[in-house]
Amino acid sequence: MAVDFFLDIPISFGHCDPAGIVFYPNYYRWFDRCFHTFLQERGGGHRALCAKLDARGIGLMDSGARFPAPASEGDLMTLSMTIAEWGSKTLRLAYEGQVSGRTVVEGFEVRGMFVERDGRLRAGDMAELRAALSGV
Amino acid sequence: MAVDFFLDIPISFGHCDPAGIVFYPNYYRWFDRCFHTFLQERGGGHRALCAKLDARGIGLMDSGARFPAPASEGDLMTLSMTIAEWGSKTLRLAYEGQVSGRTVVEGFEVRGMFVERDGRLRAGDMAELRAALSGV
Amino acid sequence: MAVDFFLDIPISFGHCDPAGIVFYPNYYRWFDRCFHTFLQERGGGHRALCAKLDARGIGLMDSGARFPAPASEGDLMTLSMTIAEWGSKTLRLAYEGQVSGRTVVEGFEVRGMFVERDGRLRAGDMAELRAALSGV
Amino acid sequence: MAVDFFLDIPISFGHCDPAGIVFYPNYYRWFDRCFHTFLQERGGGHRALCAKLDARGIGLMDSGARFPAPASEGDLMTLSMTIAEWGSKTLRLAYEGQVSGRTVVEGFEVRGMFVERDGRLRAGDMAELRAALSGV
């Protein structure tokens, strides 16, 4: 599978916990930031896309991450994002973060596009989002 | 499976994103906080336990969470934690967050106890941690 | 000056940095959470108040905090909030966090109520907010 | 005063609150990250400097920030840091964040270098840190 997006994350003091390694919820913040930066570059950003597609948000349904090795202050992590699968109502993203060629995090997000129809929030059709991200 | 620990999380404005719902990495911060509060009450806290067991930390190996419904500002979430499984080198924790009886997050953490032996970090034996948490 | 609101903050592992003490931006998150919890209890919450007063938000204009002593994992901080001054367009809040009677943080926020008038965001009249918080 | 360091901060969805603007404690996280990136580039990083100078940390004594204009999702903020004053026991840093030439945050940090002497934490002499940052 080809990687669809990269984001460099320089690990800073404030990302780390008293054990001196990255406090793990930060990895999820970076997954989210990677996806939103991708939206920015490919589709004008989350807000513009939501306006265009009459959606409330492109939010999370499922997520996960495992941590084969620790990362800490001063490390430069390269986070890669791959579009793993477009479902009819879901988009699955795969992430991998490496520091000097060593994998420190491997994870995924499953996202839906939430639309308000007849006064209720529902998972919208992903074909429109896919088209808006132009040929991804 | 009996629930082993509870933590009330009042959802605040600052926990939420521009879509008005909880920014999902916060759920993982709360999982972590729930576990550490449990350590505090059962074993005197992470620092004391690490000193006692000559460990560097009781850290993450794997994690995951799905989000069946959104939560937002003003909601009171009750987060329950269950010790799902003690392995020889791992501890699996199951979490569920509810707002007014509706599940907003369901997840897990797999933790190991990292010890330094012969100059290398390894996953230590969980029997000692289990004993230190006295009969859990 | 009488204290207007209290919030207990149990300091957790994940709030602390590699030096083992609270990562200081967290104190500002707690100031914000304290204020919003106060709004919740006195005025039904930020969202309800904004709807009532036709405002976009009750946001920050200025802030500051000094840190006379460190706090760390396992400490229970009691954060007190005092309404220091109602200006015509501003509300000044004073905060103090103590652990076992020792002050660990002392700070303030200056907030305005942002309203959209003639297509522009402006600082609204605080008299309405003050009234909505009923006799504060 | 000449600017001593720059850091670009692309504002992401997850940095913003339900009002759609940056949740203000994030500005302080970025101040801290800017300073630590500066330490990385000039002195090998916080950990290396602390080892060299036998210090526990280069931490916060005071801080403040005001917010003349909002920033939101998709904005690119350029954060500049200036060494405002070397005191004998303190270092004062001034920060300014701009988006497209408009100032969105203006703040400061006062830091000390904490050393353990005779079993107590004290504010150490800043001359050593200044020298280690080679001619700043």
Does A77 have pLDDT greater than 60?
A: yes
Task: Give how far A14 is from chain D: nearest CA, Å.
Answer: 7
- CA separation for the pair A96, A106 (Å, rounded): 4
Give the pLDDT confidence of A78-121 residue by residue, as tens digits.
Answer: 999 999 999 999 999 999 999 999 999 999 999 999 998 888 88
Q: Which of residues 62-101 of D touch B (CB under 8 A)?
A: 72-73
H/E stretch holding B40: helix B25-43
CA distance B76 to B87: 33
Our count of domains for chain C comes to 1
Closest chain D CA to residue C114:
D19
* Chain D residue whose CA is closest to A10: D37
Contacts of A103 in chain B (CB under 8 A): none
* Chain B contact set for C46 (CB, 8 A): 13, 73
- Residues 27-56 (A) with a CB less than 8 A from some CB of D: 29, 32-33, 36-37, 40, 45-47
- The CATH number of whichever domain residue B73 belongs to comes to 3.10.129.10
Torsion angles phi and psi, residue D38, rounded to 5: -60, -45
Q: Do A74 and D33 touch (CB under 8 A)?
A: no
Asked if C102 has any chain D CB less than 8 Å from its own CB, the reply is no
**What percent of chain C is predicted at pLDDT more than 70?**
98
Report the length, in residues, of chain C. 136
The Cα angle at residue C115 between residues C109 and C120, in degrees rounded to 5:
115
pLDDT digit string (tens) for chain C, length 136 residues: 688 999 999 999 999 999 999 999 999 999 999 999 999 999 899 999 999 999 999 999 999 999 999 999 999 999 999 999 999 999 999 999 999 999 999 999 999 999 988 888 888 999 999 999 875 4
Q: Do C66 and D62 touch (CB under 8 A)?
A: yes
B89, A91 contact by CB (below 8 A): no
Residue B1 pLDDT level (bands cut at 50, 70, 90): low
Predicted confidence band of residue B121 (pLDDT cuts 50, 70, 90): confident
Q: Which residues of A touch C18 (CB under 8 A)?
A: 13, 16-18, 20, 72-73
Distance, in Å, from the CA atom of D98 to the CA atom of D81, rounded to the nearest integer, reads 12
Interval B5-45: pLDDT, tens = 999 999 999 999 999 999 999 999 999 999 999 999 998 99
How far off is chain C from D10, nearest CA to CA, in Å? 19
What is the C-alpha R_g of chain D?
16
Q: Are D72 and D105 in contact (CB under 8 A)?
A: no
For the question of an ipTM over 0.90, the answer is yes
| CA atoms in the 13 A half-sphere facing the CB of B101 | 0
Would you place residue B90 in the very low, low, confident or very high pLDDT band (cuts 50, 70, 90)? very high
Q: Are C22 and C72 in contact (CB under 8 A)?
A: yes
Supply the pLDDT for residue A135.
Answer: 52
pLDDT score of B108? 98
Which tens digit of pLDDT belongs to each residue from D32-52?
Answer: 999 999 999 998 999 999 999
Chain D residues touching residue C56 (CB < 8 angstroms)? 19
Q: How much is the average pLDDT of A4-19?
A: 96
Residue A37 has its nearest CB partner, among D12, D29, D46, at D12
Cα–Cα dist D94/D84, whole Å: 6
Range of the domain at C51: 5-132
The better pLDDT of the pair C128, B121 is held by C128
Task: Write down the mean pLDDT value for chain A.
Answer: 94
